[in-house]
A and B are shown apart, each in its own frame.
Chain A
């Protein structure tokens, strides 16, 4: 039981009310283990982004249960929820979301600063982690001075700088060409996946399925199958 990172049971979520109501999740059950990279795939509107938003604690679920490392967001204050996210969750976004006026190191240092670390210590840790993702020579560069692949590397460094237990990636390769996307996934696989950490990746990009341990297919607010990466690709 201890190796379960995320456990969702019967999670539902609707947007809007009355006739315009959209049921984004219609009772999702999902388990993600520590040390694994789980990919969520499915057509647009199938509920992938809603599900990772709920798992990441940035969106409230309507019903069901969702525990992240045993923590339930439902019964905690906004402040506690933010604190939990700050300490335990890392984010990698489709459009990187690097603050354009901050250097690479400053962007990477942001989660540490949010957690109350001193600026000098945070920047030092940021430089170390940038070295690990092969961006040690671009620590002072602004995002606009970096290529898409380099920006995503910085974003990955930012997602793992505070050693979170869960990293949530939303379409991490969709803004990148095939080769760069592949390198980014290699990096995520090599550097980020660890015994104590789980990764959940939302993607449409079938070329990166090989990096997943398991793949969950979603459609119309349900998880319709969860299979090993190899089985999934064969099917």
Chain B
């Protein structure tokens, strides 16, 4: 009976394509919008993604997310260093500074100051130059996206020339020389990421009484990280988070205090509703149009179970195709937007969630049709 079910479905081209289009559109909207949302959320903790080495992040207790900077006194890192179980503790500066480009325009940059001695917290991957080049005079390392985009030199003819090693710029009226190009995760606001040493960052930064943003801590081997966090908090009165806790804190802030989840959530729900409305309605109409034939099969001896399996097979078929095309289109979109400002992240969990949503749409559509077929009196076949 399976091939009869499939031929009934495929034979009605217009409805078949209508159902698949509805499911494709729903699948595409749900997957693509969720992937962009996930991408955006991932960018909120991009700075943490690139700084995975320390076990513990110590900061002002009022800090709510990675860019919510509440500077600490420079002596704090010495206090942290003194806590029992700490293998090492280094200061880190993070701040938004204005860079003046050769053509006179300004660009706000995410400047990260690394501990002068150890350079802990540096970029995950160097493309040109070396991290140790930061020890040279006025040295900075710039991320690879920005050198071709926001920090590129714009020539009089409008042509953009990428920034290269040896080029100079002004950071808050201080001379800075590019000594390296690194790969860095794009931050939430897509500003250029600039690495330099802690002491040089404090020179670049506007003069303030407190400048240190974080203390990065490594626990001694064998120490429990959560115990260490509690100990640092108790000893110094500062907040101490594991990498994962700080990431969750950041994501929660964006989820709670920005309209991003609501905006994307509305679109995802809209995709689901569109799927139910278009695919569900068309599938139901398809069953309705074929009711006489389902009745004929029923009269000829097909049991309710047999007919339900036929409808489920039809729903599974359109669901699989619609999901496949939708997710495929979303993946192509993600691939094409890989090197652009657009954030896109498509983990397997999202694919599974999208598959669940499409399955729910198909189940809802099939349930309506199944209800109709189960209630169908086979005597309908004698009505002309």
What residues make up the interface of A, taking CB atoms closer than 8 Å to B? 49, 52-53, 56, 58-59, 78-79, 82-87, 89, 91, 93-95, 97, 99-102, 106, 110-111, 113-115, 119, 170-171
Specify which of B298, B305, B382 is in contact with A53 (CB 8 Å cutoff).
B382
Number of A-B contacts (CB under 8 A): 86
| Chain A residues whose CB sits within 8 angstroms of the CB of B304 once the complex forms | 78-79, 82
Pick the contact of A99: B4, B377, B379, B382 (CB < 8 A): B4
Does B316 touch A at the CB level, under 8 Å?
Answer: no
Q: A82's contact among B8, B11, B302, B383, by CB below 8 Å, is which?
A: B302
Residue B296 at the chain A interface, CB threshold 8 Å: yes
Docked-complex contact B382 and A93, CB < 8 angstroms: yes
Inter-chain CA distance A59–B299, complex, in Å, is 10
Q: Which of A52, A87, A119 contacts B301 (CB 8 A)?
A: A87
Q: Does B83 contact A (CB under 8 A)?
A: no
B125: Cβ under 8 A from any A Cβ = no
Q: Which B residues are in CB contact (< 8 Å) with A58?
A: 298-299, 377-379, 381-382
A85:B4 contact, CB within 8 angstroms: no
A204 to chain B, nearest CB (A): 12
The answer to the question of B303 belonging to the interface, with a C-beta cut-off of 8 Å to chain A, is yes
CB neighbours of A114 from chain B (8 A): 1, 297, 300-302, 306
The residue that B300 contacts in the complex, of A91, A94, A101, A106, with Cβ under 8 A, is: A91
A84 vs B300: C-alpha distance when bound (angstroms): 9
Please determine whether B7 and A102 come into contact, CB atoms closer than 8 angstroms.
Answer: yes
- Contact indicator B301/A95 (Cβ below 8 Å): no
* Chain A residues with CB under 8 A of B7: 99, 101-102, 106
* Beyond A85-B300, A110-B4, 17 additional pairs, beta carbon < 8 A: A53-B379, A53-B382, A56-B299, A58-B378, A78-B303, A79-B303, A87-B301, A91-B300, A93-B296, A93-B381, A95-B384, A97-B381, A99-B4, A99-B7, A101-B10, A106-B3, A114-B302
How far is the CB of B330 from the nearest CB of chain A, in Å?
Answer: 32
Q: Is B292 an interface residue (CB 8 A)?
A: yes
Cβ distance B27 to chain A, nearest Cβ, rounded Å: 26
User: In the complex, which residues 143-158 of chain B have their Cβ closer than 8 Å to any Cβ of chain A?
Assistant: none
B304, B381, B382, B384 interface centre (most CB from chain A within 10 Å): B382
Map CB proximity to A onto B48-82 as digits: 1 under 8 Å, 0 otherwise.
00000000000000000000000000000000000
Given the interface pairs A58-B381, A91-B296, A99-B296, the reply to whether A83 lies near B301 with Cβ below 8 Å is yes
26 residue pairs from A and B, CB less than 8 Å apart: A49-B383, A53-B382, A56-B299, A58-B298, A58-B381, A59-B377, A78-B304, A79-B304, A82-B303, A82-B304, A83-B303, A85-B300, A85-B301, A86-B301, A86-B302, A87-B301, A89-B301, A97-B381, A99-B7, A99-B296, A100-B11, A110-B4, A110-B297, A114-B301, A119-B3, A171-B384
Question: How far apart are B314's CB and chain A's nearest CB, in angstroms?
Answer: 12
A91–B299 CB distance below 8 A: yes
Q: Is the interface of B mostly helix, strand, loop or mixed?
A: helix
B299 contact set on A, CB distance < 8 A:
56, 58, 85, 91
The residue on A at minimum CB distance from B290 is: A99
Chain B contact patch, size range: 20 to 34
Q: Give complex CA distance A111, B331 in Å.
A: 44
Interface residues of B in 280-332 (CB under 8 A from A): 290, 292-293, 296-306
Once the chains bind, are B301 and A99 in contact (CB under 8 Å)?
no
Residues on the A chain within 8 Å of B382, using CB: 49, 52-53, 58, 93, 170
A148 CB, nearest partner CB in chain B, Å? 14
Confirm or deny: B245 has a beta carbon within 8 angstroms of a beta carbon on chain A: no
Contact assessment for B3 and A115 in the assembled complex, using a CB-CB cutoff below 8 Å: no
Q: What residues of B have a CB within 8 angstroms of the CB of A119 in the complex?
A: 3
Docked pose: A52 CA to B3 CA in angstroms: 31
Q: Which residues of B contact A100 (CB under 8 A)?
A: 11, 293
Give Cα A49–Cα B378 distance, bound, in whole angstroms: 13
B341 at the interface (CB under 8 A from A): no
Closest A residue to B292 by beta carbon equals: A97
Residues from chain A with Cβ under 8 Å of B298 in the complex: 58, 82
Given B12, B292, B379, which contacts A101 in the complex, CB threshold below 8 Å? B12
Residues of A close to B300: CB separation below 8 A: 85-86, 91, 110-111, 114
> CA of A100 to CA of B12 in the docked complex: distance in angstroms?
9
CB distance from B4 to the nearest CB of A (A): 6
Q: Mark B350-384, 1 if CB is under 8 A from A, else 0.
A: 00000000000000000000000000011101111
* A167-B212 Cα distance, complex, nearest whole Å: 93
A82 to B300: give the CA distance in the assembly, Å. Answer: 8
Are B379 and A59 in touch, CB under 8 angstroms?
A: yes
Considering the chains assembled together, what is the distance between the CA atoms of A58 and B384 in angstroms? 16
Task: Give the 3 A-B residue pairs with the shortest CB-CB distance, closest first.
Answer: A86-B301, A101-B11, A58-B378
* Complex CA distance for A82 and B297, rounded to whole angstroms: 10
CB distance from B370 to the nearest CB of A (A): 15
Residue numbers in A under 8 Å from B379 (CB-CB): 53, 58-59
A101-B10, A113-B1 as given contacts; A82 in contact with B381, CB under 8 Å: no
